[in-house]
Amino acid sequence: MEAAVASALTKEVVLKLVTLLSERHKLSKGLKDDLRFIHTELNMILCDMDEHLGDLSPSSRRPQVVSMEEMRDLAHDIEDCIDRFLPCAACEGEASSVLHRVKKAVTGNRSRFAAEIRKLRKRVKDAHERRVNYGFNGGRSAAGAAAAAASLPAAADADAAEADPVGIEKPRQELVELLLGSEPGTPRVMSIVGFGGSGKTTLARAVYCCPGVVQRFAARAWASGSEHTDAGGLLTAVLEQLHHTADVPQDQDSINNFLQTTECLIVIDDVNKQHWDAVRATFHRKTKSRIIITTALHSVANACSSDDGYVYKMSVLDAELSKVLLMKKVFFGGCSPELERGSTAIVDKCDGLPLALVSVAKFLLGENELTGRHCAQVCRNLGLHMEKDADFTKLQQVLVNNYRSLSDYPLKTSLLYTSVFPNGRPIRKNTLIRRWLAEGYVQCRYKRNDLEVADENFRKLVDRNIIRPINGSNNTKVKTCKTHGIMHEFMLHKSMSDNFITSLHDQNRSKFRHLFIQNLASGSTLGLNHQHTSPATDNVSGSSEKFRARSLTIFGDVGEAASEFCRCELLRVLDLEECNDLEDDHLRDIHKLWHLKYLSLGGTINSLPRNFDKLHCLETLDLRKTNIDILPAGIIGLPHLAHLFGKFKLGKDLKVGELEKFLPKKCKLQTLAGFAADENPGFLQLMSHMKELKKVKIWCCESSDANNESMPHISEAVQKFAQDGMDTADVRSLSLDFGNSFGDFLGSIQEYCYLSSLKLRGRLSLLPQFVTSLCGLTELCLSSTNLMGKDLSNLCKMRYLLYLKLVEADLSGFIIHKGAFPSLQHLCLTVQIPVLPTIGEGALPRLVSLQLLCKDLVGLSGIKIEYHRHLQEVALDSMVSTKTVDMWETAAKKHPKRPKVLFLKRIDPSETKSTVKYVATDGPIRGKTCSIGFNQLQLTQNMLQNECIISLDQSSSMSKVNSAMRKIIVSEPPPAAPELSSAGNNVMPPSASIF
């Protein structure tokens, strides 16, 4: 694995050398000769490395010619040298005064550049001579154990069942009810999807072995996709089990006839897309079979269960069930308060992943005397244990395979990069993507922009369940996310082993690409495992040490390290948004960070330094948490600035004509979110010069005089912005907040315009025609408009709308007739008065997500979810009554898709400095029972072992099945239950128990 990463990194450096050797750079002949030599030798080493990687036979594989550590360090040093002495790559070919000054400075340092290249040439030459003389190295990667694990056969899911699993009772009952149901719309294919080690195989096997299921299905089969490289072998394995004989029909007609006349249950464990593409034609819609598949990919689960299927998404164990599992495995006789505190650290670190909990439990069983302090120490060193201890072999294999499954080096690097953030801390998706772009970890191919590629990479990580969405925005787009706790630990350990990420306090920090400080609150579980680093030496600020870091991220207090910023001269990302003690004076030398592309500042910053406009390469500036309300004019003139966040005004002493001179000839600003429009129309008039602008947010000034003066300018700017979109049909977003004013000025906009997203907050006398006539509008949010039924019903004209959010006091009178909103997939209604719109049958035919956020909601309030056959989720306010919760959950169980009933918790606007906000929560707050204590968990464990077997006469009708279903408590049969082999077909899934 490390060899592949080093190879990919070296290829990136070779591409930089090609650029440097192009005719655009006027270099001396001697310098060019040195660069050509380095380029040629790196290519030769790469060929040897690729040959080494391509030879998968251990017996024939020869030793590596250059160690991976040496190759990585050499590639990093070459890249550092090029970046340190080259001007801004994005400015190549442009004739600007700024670029001229840069090139002049570089020319003065050319001799130093040449000297550095000569040193690098000698190092490459030494590697060349070693290859010629010896043909091998003597070293192995420091992370050799991980590489060894990577060479093992791929694990299927590594999370199969045991006789008494924890936490599957509710999902097992849900899937069994679906499996035994006979109502129209009963799913033919059920997909179980989740992260490796989350219990997918456990759940599938529990359903497969349930006595009622065994008795219902005369023929059953279990096959593992990972054991079959070709689909033919997979299908043959299934059919052999169904026929009890090796004489399996090979022609498609015989197979189809058997599956159409025999009611079968087929489980295919660990499925990928190739498996399903090959077998789906056999399991067509006319078959009487029921199929359960498990997979780690959301895209595969959706493909398998499209049309008439059902997708069950595995969730992690909560803290209580995690402790139940630990007690079963380790704390057999209960535990003391001190040990309970240590067990809490394990629960937090394992993040509810059963395989991680079991692996830690196995390791702890080897201890003579177990204490809470030792448990906490194991947690701090968990990355090291996962690398070296045999008890973690299965877990390591799952994590390594997750990493290896990623398609290319940039995607792997993007994943490793997430470990910069504290474990368990939510990460904003857009922040992560913009940081990837700034770091250069996105490679754009074909005719797509970098942002599209970055977004696709993010979706790939979510699809594999490696990154887990936390809070979606109301249109279900991922807003915040985090990695699984145990995956984060694995990546952090790997990153530190590979000189990729470390703490700024590490004395070896100069060797690492990314630095951070995580000085969080006492007792927090989000902090760095500091045993990975060595403490920094004293009086570091007086050192001449140079850092190769490309990013610095600070959570908590920066302390004396504030003086270290400018020693990271190659820094591309400086994230200080969560820094608690940063002062304005700490930024006085920030202009020296010439390569800086991403900068975010926190709530302790009140102003920016005067020379801030010298940050030539800056692309993203996030000032949303700062106290800055007047934007220095020079900032909008930064030549590469693309994303500007905050709430600003322009200085009143500058006129529009004076401001225009600050704009670059080709303004690259794409996001302006946002500014407060007052009597100075500067921003509004400058918008027409920002040709790349795609996202704008505008606050209307609270002053009535300022409003009267600014409204015509706002209307004109909005119209121009929306008209410009007609030429591109690109994603264009506009947000307008009128505050206490009326937004009726929008009624003056009559021209044909284009927006893809529109948010309006503030009072409206009537719905502007501008809104319903917008071409391309797919997302609309109306908040506090005070519009009533008839005006809101005019929204039904919008045939292409995908997402609609209404935040109003009263929605009574809003009628959604048959055929209205034919494209709408997501509807969010946040109301104070618990009266919902009237939705007729045939309206919203493609609705997927329905959010009804009113704490006083009474029952179903007239909503008939059976009208919406594609519905997948219903979200309610977490404060709704228990009776209302029960009614919605009952209605969801009767729906063919069995949509999930989710709960969102309202956040006080004063806490977020914004409008009403909701975040996901585990369940309803009203009517919750008290959580059980750790010493009560033994009782819970005993209760989990109770069981009830469904008894069904073989000749009973389907109506009797449904009658019996109302009385059952689905459970696992006894380990030696004889009916499992007699009632079925003598076929059992293989045992691969992990918990």
- State pLDDT tens for residues 813-872: 899 999 999 999 999 999 989 999 999 999 999 999 999 999 999 999 999 999 998 899
Whether residue 154 contacts residue 13, with contact meaning beta carbons closer than 8 Å, is answered with: no
Q: What is residue 877's predicted lDDT score, i.e. its pLDDT? A: 94
- Calculate mean pLDDT across residues 49-60: 48
User: Tokens standing for 109?
Assistant: 């340092």
Per-residue confidence at 995, pLDDT binned at 50, 70, 90? very low
Check residue 225 and report its DSSP letter.
Answer: G
Mean pLDDT for the stretch of residues 763-775: 87
Mean pLDDT along residues 681-702: 85
> What whole-number distance in Å separates Cα of residue 797 and Cα of residue 799?
6
Q: What is the pLDDT of residue 237?
A: 82
* pLDDT attached to residue 708: 65
Q: Average of pLDDT values for 739-768?
A: 84
Q: Which residue has the higher pLDDT, 988 or 786?
A: 786
502: which residues sit within 8 A by CB, 6+ positions away? Answer: 495, 496, 508, 509, 512, 514, 515, 516, 532, 533
User: Of 594, 595, 600, 548, which Cα lies nearest the Cα of 572?
Assistant: 595
Give the type of residue at 299: S
Query: Which of 2-16, 106-120, 789-803 is least confident?
Result: 2-16
> Using CA atoms, how far apart are residues 980 and 987, in angstroms rounded to an integer?
9
79-93, 479-493, 829-843: the lowest-pLDDT one: 79-93
Kind and range of the H or E run holding 203: helix 200-209
Concatenating the DSSP letter of every residue in 677-702 gives E-S--HHHHHGGG-TT--EEEEEEPS
State pLDDT tens for residues 219-263.
899 988 888 777 677 877 887 887 754 454 556 666 777 777 778
Cβ atoms 310, 897 nearer than 8 A? yes
The strand pairing partners of 830, in sequence order, are: 807, 853
Q: How far apart are CA 882 and CA 337, in angstroms?
A: 34
- Nearest alpha carbon to residue 201 among 220, 226, 180, 182: 226
Ranges 42-46, 161-165, 172-176, 951-955: which has the least confidence: 951-955
Kindly indicate the confidence band of residue 98, based on its pLDDT and cuts at 50, 70 and 90.
very low
Q: How sure is the predictor about 550, in pLDDT bands with cuts at 50, 70 and 90?
A: very high
3-state secondary structure of 179: helix
Greater pLDDT, 342 or 941: 342
Supply φ then ψ for residue 821, to 5 degrees: 50, 60
**HSE (side-chain half, CA atoms, 13 Å) at 922:** 8
Give the bridge partners for 826, in sequence order.
803, 849
The pLDDT of residue 634 is 83
Please say whether the beta carbons of 698 and 708 come within 8 A.
no
Of the candidates 692, 638, 649, 653, the residue with the CA atom closest to the CA atom of residue 669: 692
- Across 16-20, 615-619, 707-711, 959-963, least confident range: 959-963
Q: Give the CA dihedral 5, 8, 9, 15, nearest 10 degrees.
A: 180
Q: Tell me, what's the pLDDT at 555?
A: 92
Span 564-571, average pLDDT: 83
Angle at the Cα of 488 from the Cα atoms of 486 and 491, rounded to 5 degrees: 110
pLDDT at 141 over 70: no
Give the pLDDT score at 704: 56
Helix or strand (DSSP H, E) at 917: strand 917-921
Amino acid 143: pLDDT: 40
State the average pLDDT over residues 179-202.
Answer: 83
Q: Give the pLDDT of residue 542.
A: 46
Pairing of strands 803-808, 779-783: parallel
Judged by average pLDDT, the poorest of 46-50, 209-213, 536-540, 756-760 is: 536-540
Q: What pTM value is reported for the model?
A: 0.84
With a CB cutoff of 8 Å and minimum separation 6, the contacts of 422 are 518, 520, 526, 527, 528, 555
Q: Taking 80 as the threshold, does the pLDDT of residue 192 lie above it?
A: yes
CA dist., res. 810 & res. 100, Å (int)? 61
Q: Residue 885 — pLDDT band, cuts 50, 70, 90? A: very high
Q: Higher model confidence: residue 908 or residue 542?
A: 908
Residue type, 943: M
Q: What kind and span of H or E run contains 901?
A: strand 900-907
Please determine, for residue 63, whether its predicted confidence score (pLDDT) is greater than 60: no
Q: What one-letter code names the amino acid at 611?
A: N
Q: Round to whole Å and give the CA distance between 985 and 976.
A: 16
Q: Mind listing the pLDDT tens digit for each residue in 392-421?
A: 999 999 998 888 888 777 888 899 999 999
What is the CB neighbour count within 10 angstroms for residue 313? 14
> Which one has a higher pLDDT value, 767 or 680?
767
Residues 6+ apart with CB under 8 A from 734: 695, 696, 697, 698, 718, 721, 722, 755, 757, 758, 759
Closest C-alpha to 357, from 319, 302, 384, 389: 319
| CB neighbour class for 772 (10 Å; exposed up to 12, middle 13-18, buried from 19) | middle
Most confident of 313-317, 632-636, 912-916: 313-317
pLDDT at 159 over 50: no
Q: Which range has the worst mean pLDDT, 229-243, 425-439, 748-762, 954-968?
A: 954-968
User: In terms of Cα–Cα distance, which of 589, 541, 549 is closest to 571?
Assistant: 549
Q: Residue 930: its pLDDT value, please?
A: 39
Alpha helix (H) residue ranges in 308-365: 319-329, 337-350, 354-364
Whether the pLDDT of residue 100 is over 80: the answer is no
Q: How many CA atoms lie within 13 A of 674 on its CB side?
A: 17
Beta bridge partners of 650: 631
The per-residue pLDDT for 432 is 95
Judged against a pLDDT cut of 70, whether residue 175 lies above it is answered with: yes
- Calculate Rg over the CA atoms of the chain: 31
Residue 13, both tokens: 């450096």
User: Distances in Å between the alpha carbon of 236 and those of 224, 292, 298, 844?
Assistant: 12, 17, 26, 43
* pLDDT value for 238: 82
CB 549 within 8 A of CB 568: yes
Q: Which of 184, 225, 218 is nearest to 204 (CA)?
A: 225
Half-sphere exposure of 462 (CA within 13 A, CB side): 17
% of the chain exceeding 90 in pLDDT: 26
Give the pLDDT of residue 983.
33
pLDDT at 151 over 50: no
Q: Are 619 and 600 in contact (CB under 8 A)?
A: no
- Given a contact cutoff of 8 angstroms between Cβ atoms, the answer to whether 455 and 429 are in contact is no
Distance of alpha carbon 501 from alpha carbon 219, whole angstroms: 53
CA distance 187 to 191: 10
DSSP string, 817-831: -TT-STT--EEEEEE
Q: What is the pairing mode between strands 630-631 and 620-622?
A: unpaired
Report the C-alpha gap between 333 and 336 in whole angstroms: 10
Task: Please name which of 753, 761, 752, 856 lies closest in space to residue 805, comparing C-alpha atoms.
Answer: 761
Would you say 188 and 194 are in contact if contact means Cβ atoms under 8 Å apart? no
383: pLDDT strictly greater than 60? yes
Q: Quick check: 385 pLDDT over 70?
A: yes
In this structure, what DSSP letter does residue 626 have? S
Predicted confidence at residue 790, as pLDDT, reads 82
Higher pLDDT: 28 or 285? It is 28
How far apart (Å, rounded) are the C-alpha atoms in residues 216 and 181?
Answer: 11
Lowest-confidence region among 492-501, 656-665, 771-780, 953-962: 953-962
The more confidently predicted of residues 279 and 577 is 577
Average pLDDT, the chain: 77
Whether the per-residue pLDDT at 137 is higher than 60: the answer is: no
Mean pLDDT confidence for 572-586: 92
* CA 973 to centroid of chain Cα atoms: 38
pLDDT at residue 494 in the model: 86
Q: What CA–CA distances, in Å, run from 224 to 24, 157, 294?
A: 56, 10, 9
**Is residue 349 over pLDDT 70?**
yes
pLDDT, average across residues 741-746:
78
Alpha-carbon separation of residue 140 from 112, 143, 294 (angstroms):
34, 8, 37
Bridge partners for 472 per DSSP: 478
**pLDDT tens, position by position, 646-657:** 998 876 656 666
Q: What is the DSSP letter of 349?
A: H
**Rounded alpha-carbon distances, angstroms, from residue 665 to 95, 443, 645, 685, 921:** 11, 27, 22, 16, 48
Q: How far apart are CA 786 and CA 697, in angstroms?
A: 21
> Above 70 in pLDDT, residue 936?
no
The pLDDT assigned to 148 comes to 39
The structure tokens listed for 186 are 């009963």
CB of 267 within 8 A of CB of 241? no
Q: Could you tell me what percent of the chain has a pLDDT over 70?
A: 74
> Cβ atoms within 10 A of the Cβ of 538, count?
7
Half-sphere exposure of 317 (CA within 13 A, CB side): 30
More confident residue, 939 or 336: 336
Highest mean pLDDT among 88-102, 331-345, 526-540, 941-955: 331-345
SS (H, E, C) 956-968: CCHHHHHHHHCCC
Give all strands (DSSP E) within 218-320, no chain letters: 219-224, 264-269, 290-295, 310-313
Reduced to 3 states (helix: H, G, I; strand: E, B; else coil), residue 802 is: coil
